[in-house]
Structure 1
Amino acid sequence: MTFEKVCAAAVVALGMVVAAPLSGAQAAGGCSANPDMKNCTVQECQTRQSDVDFYCHDMDQVCSASNDKSDNQAILGALENCLSKRISVNACFSPVDPGHANAVVWVENQISNCEVVIGSQ
């Protein structure tokens, strides 16, 4: 097990949250009024943010040992889709918007937790 996975498992075991994702309204505002959005048009950023809204928001399920393995695998797949969409939005910013960066860290931690849980099932 890598150091990162051990840390993610410890975070989950202790019930700590590194960073919660932004709400859709908070994140969408970053496309139109952010001087750091240098790599995308406003329309392209908003399209990418719409993908984040669709794939990432309202993700209240997390992997758990009490879930069936197939349920955890489905949650992991959804988290991986979400991560790719969040990374796509981050590519619009230079430097990366702190709220979007925190959201990526949150999803990465959830993915690490899923991998640990699935690995032990």
Structure 2
Amino acid sequence: MPFVYVPVPIGHLGLWAIVACLGLCGAFLQIRAYSSGEAVIVAPMQYSQILWATAYGMLLFGETPDRTTLLGAAVIIGSGIYIVLRERGKPGSLQPVLTTEGKAQTLAPRPPVLRRILNWH
């Protein structure tokens, strides 16, 4: 590192701040999705990240996925779609996880700002 280190240009710090803010917003939106929807529906939607990463890799970096990558992505995405279709018709559990006995003691208190942002009670 001492022989190849180049200081980060000041202009890049602004771009890093934008990336950090977008990542934070994405994390908050993901938390909102899990708090308002069923996990069995929300979780497989994250598999779309594979498609986005592939598209960005092809468009921005000229990368093309090989056969094994495409096969693996197809298995992962296919299993997510299968789970969504399988669980769609099932009724929810009789008792939500957050109201089970002893759960309240394990949750850390939520800061007022975060509670307001995520609309938690």
TM-score, normalized by length of structure 2?
0.32
TM-score, normalized by length of structure 1?
0.32
**Higher relative contact order, chain-length normalized (CA < 8 Å, sep 6+):** 1
Bigger-Rg structure (1/2): 2
